[in-house]
């Protein structure tokens, strides 16, 4: 496991350094970026605080978009902002102890279209919104309420908060449903077409998936790890290979999840006849029926290829894309950073069609980013820069619509 993690880190570093040593072997058409709005930094209700000098660690801010509305969970200021595509603040969920200069009109006066909701957030994580505008937000319980899964050696500290469309707090969701046992670290939360909540948690060597009904109670639970996922197939037989479950994403319309698995094989020094490293082999995407626990046939996901030069020789190298998500009509989205932005790869169901497009981003100006895929296929980005934060989107939904479902 340790060796595979090192290999994955090395691959990520290789992608980040592509600008200095690599060039794309093919010209990829670009998708036009739409700059929507910017947010200033500070403690006013329509500002972000991502530079808390009193605390150490990474930036803890997340964004999602649904139906043209943006929801930003700003962990540093313990608040969630709902904004329209012009950057107008519509709703604010805030911790009173961390909020200053609240200037909303009284929401009960009838003179304000804004909504202010007080809740004692602790440490915010990812957010999701369903079609009825119910808001779901990951939060971390205070240390005295943490639990420990001794058997699996997992710290259980995350919960999912639920708010109705009017901003009223409903309850919090744990493993069994309302008020349940905390989750391990939550990688992502999703709201399906039917308003069901899916929580994907990281474990040691894999993921736990919890699927909840609209009433908040658990419908399905499954664990995927290196021991129970499909192994690499070579000539119809299972081969010896290392694997990494990179991401698990639920389907928007059916009770399925999709596992992206990257496979690696030992490389052998032909002269010394000893293992010299680990080479990337291939990537597969597997549908998994959560009602039965049965895998469906997987299909290949093309890797990112680039040319690498060393001395007078030139080689074509491959590294896997990251799995971003799946749209309502079944297109799978994958992304990878390149020297002048991102390359997005869109794969039709069963791999029937693969479309690649370039998204231009100046990485040199970006300190932190959060990228989201909507159910309709729009890629949105929150980019934190020194001077302000910018929200943009790329209308990749129009592109996939032109190819049909």
CATH of 2-401, one of 2.40.40.20, 3.30.160.110, 2.120.10.30, 2.40.50.140: 2.120.10.30
Predicted local distance difference test score (pLDDT) of residue 13? 40
Q: What is the pLDDT of residues 62-117, one digit of tens each?
A: 999 999 999 999 999 999 999 999 999 999 999 998 876 666 644 444 445 689 99
- Give the residues of the chain that fall short of pLDDT 70: 1-27, 52-57, 100-113, 234-240, 269-276, 310-312, 404-405
CA 264 – CA 225 distance, rounded (Å): 16
Predicted local distance difference test score (pLDDT) of residue 95? 94
Tallying the residues shown for the chain, one arrives at 405
Q: How far is CA 55 from CA 75, 116, 148, 274, 376, in A?
A: 12, 26, 25, 47, 37
Which position has the token pair 């990337």? 280
Residue 254 gets which letter from DSSP? S
Predicted local distance difference test score (pLDDT) of residue 54? 53
CA 50 – CA 63 distance, rounded (Å): 13
Predicted local distance difference test score (pLDDT) of residue 312? 67
């Amino acid at each position: 496991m340790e060796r595979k993690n090192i290999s994955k880190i090395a691959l990520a570093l290789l992608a980040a350094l592509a600008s200095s040593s690599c060039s794309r072997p093919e010209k990829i058409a670009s998708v036009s970026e739409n700059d929507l709005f910017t947010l200033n930094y500070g403690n006013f209700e329509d500002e972000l605080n991502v530079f808390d000098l009193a605390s150490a660690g990474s930036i803890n801010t997340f964004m999602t978009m649904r139906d043209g509305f943006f929801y930003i969970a700003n962990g540093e200021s313990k608040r969630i902002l709902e904004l329209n595509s012009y950057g107008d603040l519509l709703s604010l969920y805030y911790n009173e102890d961390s909020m200053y200069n609240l200037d909303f009109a009284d929401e009960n006066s009838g003179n304000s279209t804004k909504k202010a909701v007080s809740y004692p957030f602790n440490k915010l994580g990812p957010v999701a919104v369903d079609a009825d505008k119910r808001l779901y937000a990951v939060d971390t319980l205070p240390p005295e309420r943490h639990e420990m899964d001794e058997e699996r050696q997992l710290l259980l500290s995350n919960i999912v908060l639920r708010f109705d469309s009017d901003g009223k707090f409903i309850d919090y969701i744990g493993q069994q449903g309302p008020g349940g046992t905390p989750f391990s670290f939550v990688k992502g939360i999703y709201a399906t077409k039917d308003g069901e909540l899916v929580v994907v948690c990281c474990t040691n060597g894999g993921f736990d998936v919890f699927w909840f009904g609209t009433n908040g109670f658990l419908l399905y639970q499954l664990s995927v790890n290196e021991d129970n996922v499909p192994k690499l197939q070579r000539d119809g037989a299972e081969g010896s290979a290392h694997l990494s479950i990179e991401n698990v994403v639920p389907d928007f319309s059916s009770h399925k999840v999709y596992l992206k698995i990257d496979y690696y094989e030992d490389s052998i020094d032909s002269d010394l006849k000893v293992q010299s490293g680990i080479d990337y082999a291939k990537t597969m995407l597997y549908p998994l029926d959560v009602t039965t626990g049965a895998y469906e046939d997987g299909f290949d996901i093309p890797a990112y290829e680039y040319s690498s030069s060393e001395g007078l020789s030139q080689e074509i190298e491959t590294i896997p894309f990251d799995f971003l998500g799946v749209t309502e009509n079944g297109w799978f989205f994958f992304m990878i950073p390149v020297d002048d932005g991102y390359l997005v790869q869109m794969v039709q169901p069963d791999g029937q069609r693969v479309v690649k497009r370039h998204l231009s981003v100046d990485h040199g100006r970006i300190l932190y980013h959060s990228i989201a895929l909507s159910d309709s296929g729009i890629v949105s980005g929150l980019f934190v820069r020194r001077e302000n934060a910018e929200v943009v989107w790329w209308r990749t939904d129009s592109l996939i619509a032109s190819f049909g479902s």
